[in-house]
Amino acid sequence: MKIYPAIDLRDGKVVRLVEGDYDRMTVYGDDPVSTAKGFADAGARYLHLVDLDGAKDGALVNFDTIKKIIESTDMFVEVGGGIRDEERIKQYLEAGVGRVILGSAAVEDRDFLEKSVAKYGEKIAVGVDAKDGKVAIHGWKTVTDEDSFEFCRYLEKIGVSAVIYTDIAKDGGLGGTNITAYKKLSEVCGLDVTASGGITYISEIEELRGVTYAAILGKALYTGALDLGEAIEKSGEEQ
């Protein structure tokens, strides 16, 4: 299982939200490049970046920061947040991003999603954010009637290879993740599923190993609840 430490960017700073709420934001640093280098020094080979400004209003204010992170490390970088057209996809891929994550656009514009997957293949992942089993969009403010597991089945059918699945209720709460959901996902589809939201304990890393393709670690790293080096070791990630 791969370990993706996470950096959420807002106004060029490293931040974390609780349950996606911009009013419940904590700033953990003002140098994202240094944070990324620290993750790399701890053994990380993968990095999950979220452009919160892009997710909120489509602004591309963090693009230069993302480019610097890519240029300053050898990590495989995936980026999400406000990617709603092919031009943004191309901008990121040309900057060296390994994979872009489509969120709300994947739910609302199936034609765009399917064309993107057909053209860019494994360089497209989809973020599936679930609230009470339903897909949520627009910064988690709008909960649709779409069943999150059925949506994942659809994604597999159209050729999506990777999904980042987040249980919103668990995100940023340091109360543990939704292991049950990931076990169910592993049974219902053949996607590479990344577990995201609330992973707090080493025991969860061990339990997710063999169940999910990858795990994203966020707030637990910033608060010291998890040690990145130990998490990578316990994940069984090939070095």
Domains of the chain: 2-235 (3.20.20.70)
Tell me if 204 sits within 8 A of 210, measured CB to CB: no
Tell me if 224 sits within 8 A of 38, measured CB to CB: no
Tell me if 8 sits within 8 A of 16, measured CB to CB: yes
Tell me if 114 sits within 8 A of 121, measured CB to CB: no
Cα 189 to Cα 138: distance, rounded to the nearest angstrom:
25
pLDDT digits (tens, 9 = 90+) for 8-55: 999 889 988 776 677 777 888 899 999 999 999 999 999 999 998 877
The stretches in the chain having pLDDT less than 70 are 19-20, 140, 169-175, 238-239
- Distances, alpha carbon 167 to alpha carbons 18, 58, 133, 178, 211, in Å: 12, 23, 8, 7, 16
pTM for the whole structure: 0.93
Amino acid letter, 164? I
Enumerate the active-site residues: 8, 129
